[in-house]
Chains A and B, each alone.
Chain A
Amino acid sequence: MPTVQLLILPLAATYEMKNISLSVIDNDHSTYAQQLINKFTASGYFKLTDYSASYKEALHQVEKNNADIILQIPANFEKTLIRENKASLSLNVNAINGSTAGLAASYAGIIIKNFNAEIREKILQTPAANMQPVIDITYSNWYNPDLNYKKFMVPGILVMLLSLVGGFLAALNIVSEKEKGTIEQINVTPVKKTTFIISKIIPFWIIGMIIFTVGLIICKLVYNITPVGSYITLYAFAAIYMLAFLGFGLLISTYSDNQRQAMFVAFFFMLIFILLSGEFTPITSMPQWAQVVAKLNPLSYFVAVMRLVMLKGSSFTDVSSYFLTICGFGALFNTWAILNYRKTSG
């Protein structure tokens, strides 16, 4: 199951946009207008779905969900552009899906900007005379040069899967013994609380490690992601992280009276942990209070470490502070679970 998730989720969690439906209202029908539209369709991001005669009509297409973005070219676009050296375009984006809208708008912006630059070169016969000081920015993407979102998402999703399996399995475990009544029989035995909790952790820990290994193999084979850093560092983190998160699950389990309760509590925390992990949205852009919560979130540390080690190749000493934090979480959750697990009820 986790394997399948690792294969499917990264494809779904894509930040790349393709096939944005474009509706064009061309009131000019000039060469330039045609060139501009060609630029849009040639970019690969946009798909020209229809030509509308009026804005109203185009809006209707948006309402019918046939168009995501409307490009309106005013009448005399070409004329004004040549004569007055400037012209305006109108771009309307359907923002129901915020991230699609944002991406579509920025892609469109880039295309228009490029188009603008080309036109400028053509119109201005003597570029030297009109040379404007331009700051030319060159980007260089470090650690993930081709901005492959999979490289970025997959390690995080692996962490998510590890947390889901560990958290839920552990959360349901002790409580299921409570439901079945088997815990009664264990409680009258001289078994120590610590031994009991540890014996609960070990099998899940092994399962977690197997999932992690399978996950890394999938990373390599399917997504062609080879960690730049060392596998030992990754495993060291996975081992201690699993311990911490199982402790968290068991803690929920010791507090719950039945499996449904445990499931809901685990679900509640898991959602918060995943959304505030920095996996989908950067933590630094969250509001202050969310950043504080993210600091208390074991997931965010492991997601960060996975990316640092896998993409950037950070060594163990670079991320040792994270390691200590996760160790701290592990000690906290497990001790708490042991203390809260009572063999005798009041």
Chain B
Amino acid sequence: MNTIEVNKISKTYKTDKDAVKALDNISLSVNEKEIFGLIGPDGAGKTTLFRILTTLLLADEGDASVDGADVKKDYKKIRESVGYMPGKFSLYQDLTVEENLHFFATIFKTTVQENYDLIKDIYTQIEPFKTRRAGKLSGGMKQKLALCCALIHKPTVLFLDEPTTGVDPVSRKEFWEMLKSLQKQGITIMVSTPYMDEANLCDRIAFIQTGKILSVDTPQNIIQNFSKKLFAVKGKDMYKILLKLRDFPDVQTSYAFGDYHHVTLKNDDEKESEIKKYLTTELPDEDITVKTIQPGIEDSFMEYLNKS
């Protein structure tokens, strides 16, 4: 039995005029004690899936179970055994750090002392501020406190909805280290993020886009499955180059990607020299460099997007 089982879940949000399909026939499963990443842009349906799995929202179709309990029938059991950290900071801002923690411990009929070992590593970082009101904490500390509160009842499954959005890079790194250590303590973690670089830190990831799952696999496999040779192109006027690349009949995809343009060709037998030859004849003054590179998660995501 997998810890999280999602079977053909669909959810449509209806407004007066139109209906938005937030989740479209989604199926996936999460193994015990793994960090499962839900990767997708804003509006892909990540939060909707989280809300269904944490019994806050009813799906239109399909069924799902968390830790063996059905999200519809056994919702009470799920509420006792999962920890949920919503994307928006949702602790009581006018309670202090300590009060929030005690409050949530009491709600789950437990005490802070009882499960202190689980949150100790995280809580010690915010302990100097324990008499400060939660609303006055910095973004990173808020997330740490929220994580503590989500863990205080020793959940078996942890749902984290975009925990690192709006958090500085150092805190993000720390946060992921915490998740890794929680995983070692036997907690299954489902985390969503719009950051592709965080995908590598998950055991398995699912690409989600406009309510559909594009692919579910380990980050390594997903990168390996990248079917094309990938080239990186650099020059002086990047925008001009991008436009030229898109005019080149042999190019299949070309995207701006930081300092480089990532390019794939229709025919994988062609070499980087041919791109260079084409670009230097078209734009002689641009000082073009072209090299073959290893694809990353983001490249894979773009490829899946184009396929679907």
Stretch at the interface among A82-90, A125-133, A182-190, A310-318: A182-190
Stretch at the interface among B73-81, B249-257, B277-285: B73-81
Contacting pair A181 B107 (CB below 8 A)? no
Cα-based distance from A274 to B54 in the complex (angstroms):
43
Stretch at the interface among A1-9, A44-52, A159-167, A338-346: A338-346
Stretch at the interface among B88-96, B175-183, B202-210: B88-96
Cα-based distance from A168 to B92 in the complex (angstroms):
21
- Cross-chain contact of B56 among A190, A191, A343 (Cβ < 8 A): A343
B57 within 8 A of A: yes
B164 within 8 A of A: no
Contacts of B82 on A, CB cut-off 8 Å? 188
A122 within 8 A of B: no
Contacting pair B104 A189 (CB below 8 A)? yes
Contacts of B56 on A, CB cut-off 8 Å? 184, 187-188, 343-345
Contact with B along A327-346 (1 / 0, CB 8 A): 00000000000000001111
B108 within 8 A of A: yes
Complex interface residues of chain A between 169 and 208 (CB less than 8 A to chain B): 180-191
Cα-based distance from A181 to B56 in the complex (angstroms):
13
Contacts of A182 on B, CB cut-off 8 Å? 90-92
Contacts of B149 on A, CB cut-off 8 Å? 185
Instruction: Please give the distance in Å from A232's CB to the nearest CB on chain B.
Output: 35
Instruction: Please give the distance in Å from B72's CB to the nearest CB on chain A.
Output: 9
- Cross-chain contact of A190 among B58, B79, B88 (Cβ < 8 A): B79
Cα-based distance from A182 to B135 in the complex (angstroms):
12
Chain B residue nearest to A196 (CB atoms) is B107
Contacts of B58 on A, CB cut-off 8 Å? 344-346
Most buried by A among B56, B91, B104: B56
Cα-based distance from A189 to B57 in the complex (angstroms):
14
Q: Count how many pairs of residues, one from A and one from B, have CB atoms less than 8 Å apart in the complex.
A: 52
Contacting pair A185 B57 (CB below 8 A)? no
Contact with B along A67-110 (1 / 0, CB 8 A): 00000000000000000000000000000000000000000000
Given contacts A345-B56, A346-B58, contact A189 B79 (CB under 8 A): yes
Chain A residue nearest to B85 (CB atoms) is A185
Contacts of B80 on A, CB cut-off 8 Å? 190
Most buried by A among B75, B82, B93, B107: B107
Contacting pair A185 B86 (CB below 8 A)? yes
B301 within 8 A of A: no
B-side interface size class: 20 to 34
Instruction: Please give the distance in Å from B65's CB to the nearest CB on chain A.
Output: 16
Contacts of B231 on A, CB cut-off 8 Å? none
Cα-based distance from A188 to B161 in the complex (angstroms):
14
Chain B residue nearest to A346 (CB atoms) is B58
Given contacts A190-B79, A190-B80, contact A180 B90 (CB under 8 A): yes
Contacting pair A185 B90 (CB below 8 A)? yes
Contacts of B57 on A, CB cut-off 8 Å? 344-346
Instruction: Please give the distance in Å from B268's CB to the nearest CB on chain A.
Output: 48
Contact with B along A201-231 (1 / 0, CB 8 A): 0000000000000000000000000000000
- Cross-chain contact of A344 among B55, B92, B93 (Cβ < 8 A): B55
Given contacts A188-B55, A189-B104, A190-B108, contact A344 B89 (CB under 8 A): no
Contacting pair A188 B88 (CB below 8 A)? no
Contacts of B79 on A, CB cut-off 8 Å? 188-190
- Cross-chain contact of A189 among B89, B92, B93, B108 (Cβ < 8 A): B108
B123 within 8 A of A: no
Most buried by B among A181, A191, A344: A344
Contacts of B55 on A, CB cut-off 8 Å? 188, 343-344
Contacts of A346 on B, CB cut-off 8 Å? 57-58
Contacts of A191 on B, CB cut-off 8 Å? 107
Cα-based distance from A86 to B82 in the complex (angstroms):
94
Contacts of A186 on B, CB cut-off 8 Å? 107
Chain B residue nearest to A195 (CB atoms) is B107
Cα-based distance from A188 to B150 in the complex (angstroms):
10
Contacting pair B89 A181 (CB below 8 A)? yes
B36 within 8 A of A: no
Cα-based distance from A181 to B79 in the complex (angstroms):
17
Most buried by B among A183, A186, A188, A345: A188
Q: List, sorted by A's number, 7 A–B pairs whose CB atoms are closer than 8 Å.
A: A181-B89, A184-B90, A185-B84, A185-B149, A190-B107, A343-B56, A344-B55
> Which 6 pairs, one residue from A and one from B, show the smallest C-beta to C-beta distance?
A181-B90, A188-B84, A181-B88, A185-B90, A184-B86, A190-B79
Known contacts A181-B90, A190-B79, A344-B57; 7 further A-B pairs (Cβ under 8 A): A185-B86, A185-B91, A188-B79, A188-B84, A189-B108, A190-B108, A345-B58
